[in-house]
Structure 1
């Protein structure tokens, strides 16, 4: 189980750069873009690197034996290996992730290398036609418990098996210039979100001078939608209660034009220290940091124009990007995290100004962590009224004034968002 900490489930600062095959320092936790593939690449078995398959098989065995996430083991492997392994890092990573996407359709009697090759063949078939596999077959690529707790549909199942896209968020004044410099797929970029860039190049973005200058961040498009739904205004005071290393918080700062004040809290001092460095690079100077464990004792007595509770969750919405997480998450995790989410909302609600906004966002799709959390809050806080969270031009599913962004809608992570307005008079 990923720990119920005050940051979104994800990974640490090291990740693999698919485009160069290099290991680079990367902050992606909180926006869940670990090991992103930028385009669908057919991995023909005719050209498969046997060494890469063998390394991937050893890592998968280690992950299974030690009950450790594959992404963490991949980072350790590439940090400690020589140039020969590092040159194959992109291929090894892609093989490992393809295995976890398709392993449930492989013959259980095959050896692990045989299962890996079967998974690669299935990935090739899916690349050639997303209709190759039936609904009955694709229902096996998720744990059985999910079917009773998520509104499973064929579009979502297919999105889980597709290579994820890598999304960038440009600063407000840099989008047009960056689109002229970076390779990107404009065909899937929402016209109503000009700062969202679907990167399709091969360069190491973390070495790019515009990244070093703070002109763009690597942030999944669904996370960008959350910032737009928050819609903070220059001069307001906001609180990102579970800021992690600051993915969504930096977006709020940019939307506020660096005016007003944003408080960031997290239980981890290390994450807050990383946030400080990221904010400096992004030239976001309207941010203050406070450690907070999520309890009833709040880190400040301020009344806020808006509070974002981007709560720890099971991460079901990220399973396309992190396929190994499908097989390490269980229903007990979901239930425990749902209680954490309810408690966070209860603890911060009174800190919203009358007339202010409370935004609840999670990158998961289970009913226990989404609609049932909303129902619990509504029962306890009648002075808060639900509003319909939408962004013009962005496809989402709205039901009972709460919004679900499915992975297939934007080619990003799944996300759930609810917004309440505290009544001006109670």
Structure 2
């Protein structure tokens, strides 16, 4: 494809926003799309987004393969990437004239796994320590691949076949995922958010692994359910659909903007059993013994979703994991008193680290009497073609 100068010139700017200014890659790309509205076509947007994500994903390997004077120069990094991909591009003023042959030789010659797989050393060391070297390398390599695009069909609005037909009429090829009764995978990556099926609430975009969490809680119609770390409500909406829009779901979070987005999504999905609340200790204390089910999709390192969020590699710091472990235990302690006898609680993360997963559940069972572990599941990127997720279902037996 022909790459235009205005698009090329924006890639180094986007990289600066991500690596120096601290913005998340998806938000940076979204902002550039808004700025270029009416100027870029769909192929331009696709090229820009894929290039930025790819450079972020392979940043260490690209950067360390450049001569030292050009390292951490976002224009040189962009130029090197374009040469690596053998993309014919026009020169722009900020490009430095990277020698493509020398760069390629350096790119292919490293034997350091951290450079080759493009992760900071501390992540590799942590994953080796917790998962083992061989398994750890399989996981880390798998997370360097592009994430499949999965949809979760809203059974309150239609069937998988109806969604497939609707998308097909707009040029999007979707196929049923055989291991699920409500998931589709998109074969040709296009913008599904502009489709009529999405606007009418027939589906949500959600990774296949993430789709496993709400059913794992085993909710039923007419129950009282708490989604304590609801965020923007992807799993909340799934719970509502599994409950056939009957009963009560209370969705809490510490960010009001996320709950506002949840309410907007609930309206589009035509779901009306969800009550949103800012997380408040006083309210939690009043709910003692009132919940049939509780979902704790707790804040975590996000090391299982690097396929989708490759900038996690460079933004996450190791001391943050210790902070998150304390936060996760605090949430478990806060939630436990709210469950009814014989009620069930699911603890879930999008992390691959046992310290955030199995070890947290072990700690909870050792410090809280009357609870049994019914089941736990780990989904790993190299085994399941999903993001990395962990879920454990606990039951209050007395």
Q: TM-score range, shorter-chain basis?
A: 0.7 to 0.9
Shift in alpha-carbon separation, 1:113–1:270, aligned structure 2, 3 A: closer
Q: Residue deviations 1:160-194, cap 9 Å, x none?
A: 221111111002342122123334454xx542312
2:342 is paired with a residue whose SS is strand
Q: Give the unaligned 5+ runs of structure 1.
A: 1-45, 125-131, 389-401
Among candidates 17, 24, 34, match of residue 69 of structure 1: 24
Question: How far apart are the structure 2 equivalents of 1:420 and 1:185?
Answer: 35
Shift in alpha-carbon separation, 1:211–1:71, aligned structure 2, 3 A: closer
255-264 vs 81-90, greater mean Cα deviation: 81-90
Question: How far apart are the structure 1 equivalents of 2:360 and 2:293?
Answer: 19
Q: Does 1:93 align with 2:49?
A: yes
How far residue 155 of structure 1 moved from its aligned partner, in angstroms, is 3.2
Shift in alpha-carbon separation, 1:291–1:146, aligned structure 2, 3 A: same
Is the Cα contact below 8 Å between 1:166 and 1:220 reproduced in 2?
yes
Among candidates 321, 333, 358, match of residue 308 of structure 2: 321
Residues 175-194 of structure 1 mapped to structure 2, 5 A cutoff: 175-182=160-167, 183-184=172-173, 186=175, 190-194=177-181
Among candidates 142, 147, 154, match of residue 119 of structure 2: 142
1:141 is paired with a residue whose SS is coil
Is the Cα contact below 8 Å between 2:233 and 2:262 reproduced in 1?
yes
How far residue 84 of structure 1 moved from its aligned partner, in angstroms, is 3.1
Higher helix share: 2
Q: Residue deviations 1:37-68, cap 9 Å, x none?
A: xxxxxxxxx85555433311122123333233
Among candidates 103, 128, 148, match of residue 59 of structure 2: 103
Structure 2 match to 1:352 = 339
Is the Cα contact below 8 Å between 1:240 and 1:249 reproduced in 2?
yes
Structure 2 match to 1:115 = 77
Question: How far apart are the structure 1 equivalents of 2:139 and 2:112?
Answer: 11
Shift in alpha-carbon separation, 1:307–1:220, aligned structure 2, 3 A: same
Structure 2 match to 1:409 = 383
Shift in alpha-carbon separation, 1:134–1:165, aligned structure 2, 3 A: farther
Question: How far apart are the structure 1 equivalents of 2:252 and 2:204?
Answer: 20
Cα RMSD (Å): 2.8
Residues 198-209 of structure 1 mapped to structure 2, 5 A cutoff: 198-201=185-188, 203-209=190-196
How far residue 86 of structure 1 moved from its aligned partner, in angstroms, is 6.5
How far residue 418 of structure 1 moved from its aligned partner, in angstroms, is 1.1
Question: How far apart are the structure 2 equivalents of 1:215 and 1:69?
Answer: 28
Among candidates 152, 156, 160, match of residue 169 of structure 1: 152
Question: How far apart are the structure 1 equivalents of 2:26 and 2:318?
Answer: 22
86-95 vs 258-267, greater mean Cα deviation: 86-95
- Give TM-score scaled by structure 2 length: 0.81
How far residue 233 of structure 1 moved from its aligned partner, in angstroms, is 1.2
Q: Does 1:272 align with 2:259?
A: yes
Is the Cα contact below 8 Å between 1:166 and 1:198 reproduced in 2?
yes
How far residue 386 of structure 1 moved from its aligned partner, in angstroms, is 0.6
* Paired residues, number: 358
1:387 is paired with a residue whose SS is strand
How far residue 89 of structure 1 moved from its aligned partner, in angstroms, is 2.6
153-162 vs 289-298, greater mean Cα deviation: 289-298
Query: Higher relative contact order by CA 8 Å / sep ≥ 6: 1 or 2?
Result: 1
Question: How far apart are the structure 2 equivalents of 1:201 and 1:422?
Answer: 45
298-307 vs 343-352, greater mean Cα deviation: 298-307
Q: Does 1:229 align with 2:216?
A: yes
Structure 2 match to 1:13 = none
Q: Does 1:342 align with 2:303?
A: no
Is the Cα contact below 8 Å between 1:406 and 1:414 reproduced in 2?
yes
How far residue 321 of structure 1 moved from its aligned partner, in angstroms, is 1.0
Structure 2 match to 1:157 = 140
Shift in alpha-carbon separation, 1:86–1:299, aligned structure 2, 3 A: farther
Structure 1 match to 2:38 = 83
Question: How far apart are the structure 2 equivalents of 1:321 and 1:301?
Answer: 37
Structure 2 match to 1:11 = none
Larger radius of gyration: 2
Q: Give the unaligned 5+ runs of structure 2.
A: 87-108
How far residue 382 of structure 1 moved from its aligned partner, in angstroms, is 2.7
